[in-house]
Amino acid sequence: MIQIVRTERHVDVDENDLISVAEAARLSGRSISTIVGMMESGTLPWYQLPFGSERKRVPKFTSRQAVLALMRQRAQKGKRIRS
Q: What's the pTM?
A: 0.78
User: Got the DSSP string for 3-56?
Assistant: ------------GGGEEEHHHHHHHHT--HHHHHHHHHHTSS--EE----TT-S
Question: In the prediction, which pLDDT does 28 show?
Answer: 95
Provide the pLDDT for residue 53.
Answer: 58
Share of the chain above pLDDT 90, in %: 55
Mean pLDDT over each residue of the chain, to the nearest integer: 86
Range 62-70 average pLDDT? 96
Domain ranges of the chain: 17-50+58-82
Average pLDDT for residues 62-80, to the nearest whole number?
86
Confidence of residue 51 (pLDDT cuts 50, 70, 90): low
